[in-house]
Structure 1
Amino acid sequence: MTKELRRLSIIVLVMFLGLFASTSTIQVLQADELADDPNNRRTTLDGFETQRGAIVAGGSEIATSVPSSDLYVWQRQYLDSPMWSHVTGFLNPSLGSQTGIEQAMSQELSGTAGSAFFQRIDQIVTGQPPRGSSVLLTLDPAAQKAAYDGLTQAGFTGAVVAIEPKTGRILALVSTPGFDANTLATHDPDGTNATYAALEDDPGRPLLNRALAGDVNPPGSTFKLVVAAAALESGDYTMTSQLPNPATFTLPQSNHKVANSSGTTCGPGATTTIATAIRLSCNVPMAELAIKLGDEAIREMAEKLGFNQELAVAPLAAAVSGYPAGITDDAQTGLSGFGQGQVTATPLQVALISAAIANGGTLMNPYAVDEVVGADLSTQQTFEPSVFGETMSSETAEQVTEAMVSSVQDGAATGARMEGVDVAGKTGTAEMGGDNPYTLWFTGFAPADDPEIAVAVLVEDGGGQGTSGSGNTIAAPIAKKVMEAVLSR
């Protein structure tokens, strides 16, 4: 072989190795990233030609693919869609649109994820038509239905999030009003666009996922749990620490007066305790406690519980709940003592407060998917519990739990009482400014001594009762139904 031929052979070999390395990188290492690229039209169309996997909850397929006579071959179909719509989302090939689990787990459902590599090889070798993998959710259909019925039967606008405290598994995730995803999955672009526009114009804003995002609301008195935990963790307070007990309290450098919902003092006597303030949901002592603690101590506890951080119900994203940094105004710190002022939270965040307390102070990362299962029923991917962080000592969690149990037994949260089960709970009735209807809350867990479920309920617009509704009479009974659904299974 001449020197020139040898040199040419080396060049060709180097070019071949470079091409091999480049294509391998694209097809293997960058496959998931490229498949996720919204501009990758070819992958999108290929996914529509594949029979997409099912979305499964409690053994029931709540999203499936059925044959279509048009160029997209398959069309998505959703079972009991208004109850599940904010979880499943929708898929529309004619518009190239997808939301919810359909978007977050699109690669798995279309069979293009790296975890489905061997499934694709087997389908090619055996000549089987390509099929996507199924996504098995953590959600409990009974809990989901109890939450949905609790909100919709009374016509409430709101949300429910229920969590398994020891694992972080999401048991229910409901936002109302919902929508029928089937009307957004049709292959008629004009008709679908008209339907979508009508949903966007609906004053009830059914496309809004209030459980994870929406208009982030003041958490009201549910935030007293955060303040109480911060006080105990400081080492300067116990649940029996004495606090001043006037009927009203004028915030520092302000003309704003804070009052308890009862319009009276927090129990008899010139002083009261943190435990009593939680049990009776008193604003005045908690405002005074917050000012004494200072915003840094409260914010530190809030951030341990997830505030000011990007959270997700994996794989679904959520809005950031906020406790503002650098509060220099004691009046604002006082308002934060009972979840007003600049404090905001999603139902997910409020549920995580209870989940952390229920789990002895350990907060687990919330997740909504258990497994990805191939068309051959092989498990391709599993999702395991993971720790978000240690939020408070087990002693603090136990003491706050005791106060929450007292609140349900004979305090401000009796609407969540269950026969034969100790429930830990905290209500919230958040003012929205002026004469606007209150936002109503409940959060808690059961059984109190060995929690299986932590829940948060949000009801907007005062539950139709303006400023006269309360978290105890409207939100707490919904939470009770959800907890009963889980405990009775």
Structure 2
Amino acid sequence: MNKPIRTISLFCMLLFIALMANATYLQYWQADALNKDGRNRRIIQEAFSRERGPILVDGETVALSVKSDDAYKFQRTYPTPFRYAPVTGWFSYYSQTGIEQTQNDVLSGDDSRLFVTRLVDLVNGNNTKGGRVSLTLDPKAQKAAYDGLRALGEDVQGAVVAINPTTGQILANVSLPTYDPNVLASHDFASVSENYDRLNQDPAKPLLNRAIQTTLPPGSTFKLVTAAAAIESGNYDASSMVPAGATYQLPLTSGETGLVDNEGRSQCNPKRIPFEVAMEWSCNTTFAQLAIEVGAEAMQKQAEAFGFNEHYLDDLGPQAVSVYPTGTDKPQTGQTGFGQFEVRATPLQMAMVAAGIANGGTVMKPYLVDEVQSADLDILDKTTTTPLHDAVSPTTANELTKLMVATVNEGTADDARIDGIEVAGKTGTAQSGVPGKPPYAWFVSFAPADDPQVAVAVMIESVPGKDTSEIAGGALGGPIAKAVMEAVIR
């Protein structure tokens, strides 16, 4: 063989080796990634040509697939779009969010627990149907929360979470502003891209589930955690006298920057006042001093016992982790006592604080997926309740309940009163820390106080058109919490 032919032969052999290596790489190493790539039209065709399973709330379908008359066989549809969008999310040609994402394998029929069903369908020549996902949401509580927030104004930004204290079931998860997932599930891919870009670039962030993905200073609602730490120390109970005062200068500080006041609430002025009065009128000077007395380490431990600095929600995401800062000095610890400095919480987290107190001190792990079924209604899995932490002793929980009931009956949380039912609650108004920006309004509660069935957290991030003086957790959040509690109890 002469040299030119040998050179060409070697070159062709190298080409064949490169071709084989590339085919092996694509078919073996990259097969899974390519199979899941949203741009893979074969996968799109397959996904939209299969009857995806429904998402249900108390038997009501909130997401389902219906037959379509276009190139694809089924169209994903959301009958009650705006109310449930933060939970269901959407299923589109390029992505999934919410329950559509976390339960995708079940809904699509690809879950290993549906293997026998797929095998039977294959033998019979039937198209495989996806499984069914039932959620823990209470439709009446969800509607009450949604309507309550909407009533504050068209452009309100906020969230509501309700929890069953004894099980951890999430009964309501509402976030505003919201969106219509139907426009993101369309088979008109150009329209989907246009709508996604519009929603994603909206400064009001309608795609954000504020109930679990937004952390803000919880303000005075965090005083429940401070009170828990103080009572757990063994030095206080609901009938104790606690430190107070019209003002309090944080240690190691001077001037206005380190001065804590009570925003004109004269009930806080005496040097020592009953614990009930301090909670009823949300005395900042009391809780700053209690936090410093308890100490940074005990405050952090108590916050983490309620779920701060921890991920705990598995079936909806991503969950933002609520934060209690580590290594705080005395003035910083004092500020955390009334929910400021670097304390940040989601509405879900503050609902868990209320729920833990309601449940005798035990915080239950929150969950949204109640049951998973096959298309033939065979139960594949049912979530079991799981304790997350013993946050406080039953005795401490009882003392905290007394303080919260007094706050509703005699103090700032009176907007949550329900005729004939004893309610436990706490208001909060947190400074945003941004010059010129109004504070955030918070409200947490549970009822009935002697036999809790529901714990609620309301967070109102922004109400356009309202003056700073009009932003108050009791006035804005109390009526919403009341409506949600009534929806569950009655």
TM-score, length-normalised on structure 1?
A: 0.88
SS at match of 1:367: coil
**55 and 478 in structure 1: CA distance in 2 versus 1, 3 angstrom threshold:** same
| 1:288-311 superposed Cα distances (whole Å, 9 cap, x missing partner) | 111111111111010011101113
Question: What is the aligned partner in structure 2 of residue 11 from structure 1?
Answer: none
Task: Tell me if structure 1 keeps the 8 A contact 2:352–2:363.
Answer: yes
Bigger drift between 373-382 and 51-60 goes to: 373-382
Which of 99, 104, 107 is residue 106 of structure 1 equivalent to?
A: 104
| 1:272-330 superposed Cα distances (whole Å, 9 cap, x missing partner) | 133321122111111111111111111101001110111315343310100011112x2
Q: Letter of the aligned partner of 1:480 in structure 2?
A: K
Task: Tell me if structure 1 keeps the 8 A contact 2:276–2:407.
Answer: no
* Displacement of 1:74: 1.5
Question: What is the aligned partner in structure 1 of residue 371 from structure 2?
Answer: 371
CA distance in 1, matches of 2:281, 2:47: 55
* Displacement of 1:39: 4.0
* Displacement of 1:349: 0.3
CA distance in 1, matches of 2:169, 2:465: 32
* Displacement of 1:43: 6.1
Question: What is the aligned partner in structure 2 of residue 475 from structure 1?
Answer: 477
Question: What is the aligned partner in structure 2 of residue 8 from structure 1?
Answer: none
Alignment map for 1:120-159 (pairs within 5 Å): 120-155=118-153, 156-159=156-159
* Displacement of 1:237: 2.6
CA distance in 2, matches of 1:322, 1:478: 26
Task: Tell me if structure 2 keeps the 8 A contact 1:441–1:457.
Answer: yes
The alignment yields a C-alpha RMSD, in angstroms, of 1.9
* Displacement of 1:38: 4.0
* Displacement of 1:128: 2.4
* Displacement of 1:462: 5.2
**443 and 56 in structure 1: CA distance in 2 versus 1, 3 angstrom threshold:** same
Bigger drift between 43-52 and 303-312 goes to: 43-52
Task: Tell me if structure 2 keeps the 8 A contact 1:314–1:366.
Answer: no
Alignment map for 1:350-429 (pairs within 5 Å): 350-429=350-429
Question: What is the aligned partner in structure 1 of residue 26 from structure 2?
Answer: none
CA distance in 1, matches of 2:151, 2:463: 16
Bigger drift between 153-162 and 454-463 goes to: 454-463
CA distance in 2, matches of 1:54, 1:65: 7
Alignment map for 1:17-416 (pairs within 5 Å): 38-39=36-37, 46-93=46-93, 96-155=94-153, 156-214=156-214, 216-254=215-253, 255=255, 256=257, 257-266=259-268, 269-312=270-313, 314-328=315-329, 330-416=330-416
SS at match of 2:210: coil
* Displacement of 1:373: 1.5
Q: Letter of the aligned partner of 1:409 in structure 2?
A: N
Task: Tell me if structure 2 keeps the 8 A contact 1:412–1:472.
Answer: yes
Task: Tell me if structure 1 keeps the 8 A contact 2:238–2:402.
Answer: no
CA distance in 2, matches of 1:312, 1:245: 38
CA distance in 1, matches of 2:323, 2:303: 9
Mapped pair 1:441 → 2:439? no
Is there any run of 5+ residues in structure 1 with no aligned partner, and where?
Answer: 1-33
**403 and 84 in structure 1: CA distance in 2 versus 1, 3 angstrom threshold:** same
CA distance in 2, matches of 1:237, 1:36: 61
SS at match of 1:66: strand
CA distance in 2, matches of 1:37, 1:334: 54
Task: Tell me if structure 1 keeps the 8 A contact 2:228–2:392.
Answer: yes
Percent identity between the aligned chains? 46
**265 and 408 in structure 1: CA distance in 2 versus 1, 3 angstrom threshold:** closer
Is there any run of 5+ residues in structure 2 with no aligned partner, and where?
Answer: 1-31
Task: Tell me if structure 2 keeps the 8 A contact 1:462–1:470.
Answer: no
| 1:27-51 superposed Cα distances (whole Å, 9 cap, x missing partner) | xxxxxxx699844956665433210
CA distance in 2, matches of 1:232, 1:36: 57
Q: Letter of the aligned partner of 2:285 in structure 1?
A: V
CA distance in 2, matches of 1:242, 1:402: 15
**388 and 461 in structure 1: CA distance in 2 versus 1, 3 angstrom threshold:** same
TM-score, length-normalised on structure 2?
A: 0.88
CA distance in 1, matches of 2:213, 2:228: 25
Task: Tell me if structure 2 keeps the 8 A contact 1:232–1:238.
Answer: yes
Bigger drift between 237-246 and 401-410 goes to: 237-246
Task: Tell me if structure 2 keeps the 8 A contact 1:372–1:381.
Answer: yes
Question: What is the aligned partner in structure 1 of residue 6 from structure 2?
Answer: none
Task: Tell me if structure 1 keeps the 8 A contact 2:361–2:393.
Answer: yes
